[in-house]
Amino acid sequence: MKKIALLLVGLVLMMGTSLRADEGMWLLPLIEKLNIQKMQEMGLQLSAEQIYSVNNTSLKDAIVIFGRGCTGELISEQGLVLTNHHCGYGSIQQHSTTQHDYLKDGFWAMSFEEEIPTPGLTVTFLVRIEDVTEKMNATLKPEMTETQRQLAATQEGEKIAMEATIGSHYTAKVQSFFGGNQYFLLVNETFTDIRMVGAPPSSIGKFGADTDNWMWPRHTGDFSLFRIYADKENKPAGYSSENVPYKPKHHLPVSIKGVQPDDFAMILGYPGSTERYMTSWEVDELIKITNNNRIFIRRIRQEILLEDMLADASIRIKYASKYARSSNYWKNSIGMNKALKRLKIINKKKLDETEFTNWVNTTPERKEKYSQALSLISNSVNSRKDYEHVTQYISETLLRGTEIISLATDAITLEESLKSGEKVKIDEEIKKFREKATDFYKDYNTATDQKVARVMFKIFAQNVEKKYQPDIFQTIETIYKNDYSKFVDEMFTESIFADSVKLYSFLKNPSAEKLAEDHGFIASKSISKTNTDLKNTLNQLNADFDKGHRLYVGGILEKNQGKAMYPDANFTMRMTYGSIKDYYPMDAVHYDYITTLDGVMEKEDPDNWEFVVEDKLKDLYAKKDFGRYALPNGKMPVAFLSTNDITGGNSGSPVINAKGELIGTAFDGNWEAMSGDIVFEPELQRTINVDVRYTLFIIDKFAGCTRLIDEMTIVE
């Protein structure tokens, strides 16, 4: 293992190999060794030290994890953070009411005092990254089982992280890379006083909604603005009126010079997850089980939600964020399956596996080390199919799909504390559960959930073999004669979880006996038990998979010794570089690299909520009142394409030009390359970005919030 670690750190750059320049989500400490020469040849005017430095300010100091799954960037000396509208969507929804509908109307704080505290929202800075592979491998013995190995890695990682943060307010974690063949320590700093500053109305921030999602040409102003607040020492602190805007080590200058084809473009951010080392068996599982199930279940649930949302403004606000999260990866799964099939990715993976096997069989040493890899993976994937199918159905239809079951499942711990009779423990659990319930009911509509539940229980029973079904389904069959609507309606009528008044009344004088009689709780315990049992079986099967994957990736690294390699994304900061570029998605079709406000007006449909255009935006368009943000031909740019390699989690990432200036905000991938998490397609894969000139135009001309423009460093 030490040999692999040294090999990884000492990789020699050999561009002109099978990796294209635009492919790769690169680790920042290795930019100097692996990337900087090619990047500078493409036009970059910065050094590796200016991108990532531990001792000096660098671009990485302007990049943050925004919330739980997005990226943001600092764009002023006063802690102003730019991210996507869809990244800020949950917070915008959190502050919205029927009286102040910020989702529909937008929000603009015209002073610091009007900026809205957003409890629960955090931003996190990367302090440093350190390779700790040698330390980790010292504790990982060849004779360990995969389960023992993972436990040892977790324990040693926690020890290293604790030692790295003693005496500081930082947090740290050790993460594995390259399938457990390399480990890095990541030290972070997290701020919790984050305030909402600005967001366009959804007619701009989500223009095109589901129809245009993952599509080009795109005309969405997908941005929102927040601000980090700190204490008087510029350190993280909980919300206080005494806190002041955070002063970052670095913020990005904002360029309004625009973009041209072949211009250098770099993105720093937090890509969530890629699986570039996925095998053919896994791709087949992804298409036939994971994506197919998600497409089928979510379409049905989303149709029910959307019907209620369009009929009632209060329901729309409550379910806006839930619907958006669900529909995003529903459509992603549709596009991914189409791309995986059209581009024949399974065949490509089989060729990779044949090449790997031939390489392994070349020497006895390789056979001894890697010959099990692919068989461990294939056997595990083939053995787990039924369990993957059922656990996904339980999650999509019941534990997450039916909200009353989700809340009731959270009460299982409360029941255990009530049975213990320990007052301190009981009081603590009641407090925790009350807080969960408060959050839950804020965005809950009983009638909507009841409609969903009738369908979700039914399709679960229809698509899961009886031997895998929770015993509550035997009750439905025996007592309710498979009348799922009757069962659900009775559960909602009787259960305390369907009614906040009933639940809060119960929490004043809770008892395990009353919980045990509750229809919703009975169903949730039955479902939860089955899910736990199935997951335990899956974990056993996946131990072999994990070992096979680690060996397979380790073999690929050894096989490609001397080539620049990058690990799969795992929501750690990465750098990707490329250029501004158009593309040809299919025969006789060409897509330009940029869109303009003309396209918004062409798509306008006042009878379709996805394509409504604000009157003020139409007025500005009619007058061509674009200020200094227009193109030389007088048109208003909206979005542009780049060849950067990104995935989910990169949403909100800054697109940076050759001088280190902000030119746009990444927000999507393109439909034709939805297989990109598995295989990078250089001719097809594009990142869709909001042109920063459109962002500034909306802030300045549409919203009139010029104070925000004034605090930015604008490069003309």
C-alpha–C-alpha distance, residues 78 and 245, integer Å: 5
C-alpha–C-alpha distance, residues 198 and 92, integer Å: 9
Q: Assess whether 169 carries a catalytic annotation.
A: no
- Residue 153 vs residues 147, 185, 394: alpha-carbon distances, Å: 10, 12, 30
> Among residues 681, 685, 682, 693, which one has the least CA distance to residue 657?
693
Of these residues, 53, 61, 86, 544, which one is catalytic?
Answer: 86
3-state secondary structure 296-341: HHHHHHHHHHHHHHHHCHHHHHHHHHHHHHHHHHHHHHHHHHHHHH
Of these residues, 58, 333, 651, 675, which one is catalytic?
Answer: 651
The runs of H, that is alpha helices, within 54-144 are 85-95, 102-105, 133-137
Q: Assess whether 598 carries a catalytic annotation.
A: no
Burial category of 289 from C-beta neighbours within 10 Å (exposed 0-12, middle 13-18, buried 19 and up): middle
CB 579 within 8 A of CB 42: yes
Burial category of 588 from C-beta neighbours within 10 Å (exposed 0-12, middle 13-18, buried 19 and up): exposed
C-alpha–C-alpha distance, residues 171 and 570, integer Å: 17
Residues in contact with 570: Cβ distance below 8 Å, sequence separation at least 6, in sequence order:
175, 176, 177, 272, 273
Quickly count: other Cβ atoms within 10 Å of residue 397's Cβ: 28
The enclosing H or E element of 527 equals helix 519-559
Q: Tell me which DSSP letter residue 699 carries.
A: I
Dihedral (Cα; 556, 561, 564, 566), 10-degree rounding: 30
* Structure-token match 């300010």, residue found: 57
The bridge status of strand 224-230 relative to strand 254-255 is unpaired
Q: Tell me which DSSP letter residue 675 carries.
A: T
Quickly count: other Cβ atoms within 10 Å of residue 589's Cβ: 9
Of these residues, 222, 263, 518, 700, which one is catalytic?
Answer: 222
Instruction: State both tokens at 464.
Output: 């899961």
* Structure-token match 């709780």, residue found: 521
The enclosing H or E element of 83 equals strand 80-83
Q: Assess whether 439 carries a catalytic annotation.
A: no
Q: Which of the residues are catalytic?
A: 86, 222, 651
